[in-house]
Structure 1
């Protein structure tokens, strides 16, 4: 459970926090921290609920993105590093890994001719092999690097899944901050300078989401995980 919690925190909660950063900044700007009244308590609770909700949908949003990317790339890319046209490993190493996996899943590994003749059947071998490795590498201490790459992939995948909800939230927060800054006179005091920082933070947040959170980032993380999963053959 300790390692599961670590994955949940890094791969699900962290993307959720990043998604709601503008809302957190706005809450800090508007809530007077020195003393709480009822409205401030409700605002704090609301922020916590918002973060909880985003954390809960992070995994599902990431899974939707994952399914889309699998369709667009012709299937799960889990074992692309062991395909014959991939040069991540030498042919000798690939043959050794494929022979080992063949003995574990009780079916011959596909030759290059098999791949060209029936790519779907070849993909099934790779999927079964990947499933075998995942089930036999759950010891996160023994396979620490693999676990870290899995966390990295989960982080980027889930963050990509939250990208557009986060952008919508960013825009709403920016409009709210701008309204407060220009002509809103609410029932509590706030520092207008802090609202300017909120707008700056929202702009940086939007740039990060648009420029950094991309399909390519997820595919790169997936490939690193794929490579490390294949290397688990050496240990097993």
Structure 2
């Protein structure tokens, strides 16, 4: 995937490119703080190329990590939200609403009858397979439709959170490297022409930027990802009322 495709496609831009840019955000900010006098066009172009080149690479890494870790997320949540919400024993959907969804799916998905509460209880594995099949049908039935814009929006939100969460180790590694580089460059590199006070202030501001970024990265928890996944699941299942 080239940069043009990442920028022009809404899903690629939100769910893949933006997490990578956010992961690398302090790199450019710290460079501007530590080296405020670097104004040559060549240096600027080189910095932009390196930043977006790294971000483009991270989009692939983030997507790969996100998809690889997704099954572990679903396992820790007791199943994919759009599947588990269809279970009779799940309480995240209103009971009447869930019955309406079951009725619609049983009537419209070819050769599929959703299980009752007793059937689900006696054979939960088979019941989940049926719910997964219904979920797959919903995904196909809503893909590309104008009335599915909200589903697409929630899907992008989930993709962004999942991929940014997957990039946390890399983002934190970048932050640690920036802390070391900032302290070394502003405190020990004698080639920088600035007073001690200016160097100290630049160091503090740069470290503060990195610190805030670390807080943002650490706030990307499984619970944060799950909130987006459940919002997407509810929006997808609500298509039963509009298809």
Gaps of 5+ in 1: none
Say whether 1:100 aligns with 2:72.
Answer: no
CA distance change for structure 1 residues 199 and 140 in 2, over 3 Å: closer, same or farther?
Answer: farther
Q: Is the 8 A contact 2:27 2:178 kept in 1?
A: yes
Q: Is the 8 A contact 1:80 1:226 kept in 2?
A: no
**Pairwise CA RMSD:** 2.4
Q: 1:221 aligns with which of 224, 228, 242?
A: 228
State the shift of 1:152 in Å. 1.0
Q: Is the 8 A contact 2:74 2:80 kept in 1?
A: yes
Tell me the residue number matched to 1:196.
Answer: 204
Aligned length: 233
Matches within 5 A, 1:118-137: 118-137=123-142
CA distance change for structure 1 residues 12 and 2 in 2, over 3 Å: closer, same or farther?
Answer: closer
Q: Distance in 2 between matches of 1:178 and 1:189?
A: 15
Q: Is the 8 A contact 2:65 2:163 kept in 1?
A: yes
Say whether 1:209 aligns with 2:231.
Answer: no
CA distance change for structure 1 residues 3 and 170 in 2, over 3 Å: closer, same or farther?
Answer: closer
CA distance change for structure 1 residues 126 and 213 in 2, over 3 Å: closer, same or farther?
Answer: same
Q: Distance in 2 between matches of 1:47 and 1:226?
A: 34
Tell me the residue number matched to 1:164.
Answer: 169
Matches within 5 A, 1:35-54: 35-37=40-42, 41-54=45-58
Tell me the residue number matched to 1:9.
Answer: 13
Q: 2:119 aligns with which of 106, 114, 135?
A: 114
Higher relative contact order (CA 8 A, sep 6+): 1
State the shift of 1:115 in Å. 1.4
Report the TM-score, using the length of structure 2 for normalisation: 0.86
Say whether 1:86 aligns with 2:96.
Answer: no
Tell me the residue number matched to 1:147.
Answer: 152
Q: Distance in 2 between matches of 1:217 and 1:56?
A: 22
Q: 1:22 aligns with which of 23, 26, 36?
A: 26
Matches within 5 A, 1:41-80: 41-80=45-84
Q: Distance in 2 between matches of 1:46 and 1:93?
A: 50
- Of the structure 1 ranges 84-93 and 51-60, higher mean CA displacement relative to structure 2 is found in 84-93
Q: Distance in 2 between matches of 1:232 and 1:203?
A: 42
Gaps of 5+ in 2: none
Q: Is the 8 A contact 2:78 2:84 kept in 1?
A: no
